[in-house]
């Protein structure tokens, strides 16, 4: 049972695989994995201009816009409007994805996982704006998105996070908070 604090301060901005934006990794498994060999990865991405998203072979993703006015995505030829903050959007990361911003830059919370991994996780992303009990699980990542949150005795400011491993906890949130549950499948 562990609680690992993942502060926003000090996260390094890294260019996307295709150079079209920057990402700040919150946590990945295995620890120290690069963009090609992670089992799963949670990050924040800054999208400052129109253009393609990086493609990730055999990767699924959940994108949640947390700042900005929105974007029109084209995922595998299908248009998807993302104009409401804090609503998770699931799509394959290996389909060609283009982005047109609706009113300036956006920040997205990204959760990505390899669907071909030995223990492909079952991934859920919820963005509650309230208090709730968090069940113990192999990996639960909690990210404060606006306002503050308290979980497992840790107070989180905007974009601070914790990784809970086999730890029951109570979340008390004053704003939107992402709760990402990664459960091995099988």
For 50-89, what is each residue's pLDDT tens digit?
999 988 999 999 999 999 999 999 999 999 999 999 999 9
Average pLDDT over residues 178-182: 90
Question: Is the bond leading into 30 cis (omega within 30 degrees of zero)?
Answer: yes
Mean pLDDT of 126-144: 86
pLDDT (tens digit per residue) in 118-130:
556 677 888 877 7
pTM above 0.85, yes or no: yes
Q: Using alpha carbons only, what angle is made at residue 139 by residues 1 and 38, rounded to the nearest 5 degrees?
A: 125
Lowest-pLDDT choice from 45-49, 108-112, 124-128, 144-148: 124-128
Q: Per-domain residue ranges for the chain? A: 12-114, 121-184
CATH number of 12-114: 2.60.120.10
Q: For residue 159, what pLDDT is reported?
A: 97
pLDDT at 118: 53
Q: d(Cα 75, Cα 79) in Å, to the nearest integer?
A: 6
Q: Do the domains spanning 12-114 and 121-184 agree at the CATH topology level?
A: yes
**Architecture label for domain 121-184:** Sandwich (2.60)
Residue 136 pLDDT exceeds 90: no
């Amino acid at each position: 049972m562990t609680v690992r604090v993942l502060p926003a301060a000090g996260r390094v901005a890294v260019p996307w695989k295709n150079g079209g934006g920057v990402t700040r990794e919150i946590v990945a498994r295995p620890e120290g994995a690069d963009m090609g060999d992670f089992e799963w990865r949670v990050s924040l991405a800054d999208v400052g201009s129109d253009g393609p998203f990086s493609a990730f072979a055999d990767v699924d993703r959940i994108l949640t816009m947390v700042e900005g006015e929105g974007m029109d995505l084209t995922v595998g030829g299908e248009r998807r409007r993302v104009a409401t903050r804090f609503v998770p959007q699931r799509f394959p990361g290996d389909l060609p994805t283009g982005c047109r911003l609706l009113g300036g830059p956006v920040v997205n919370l990204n959760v990505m996982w390899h669907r071909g991994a030995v223990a492909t996780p079952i991934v859920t992303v919820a963005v509650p704006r309230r208090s709730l009990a968090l069940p113990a699980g192999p990996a639960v990542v909690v990210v404060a998105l606006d306002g503050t949150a308290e979980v497992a005795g840790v107070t989180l400011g905007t974009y601070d996070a914790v990784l809970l491993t086999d730890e029951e906890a109570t979340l008390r949130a004053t704003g939107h908070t992402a709760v990402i549950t990664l459960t091995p499948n099988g």
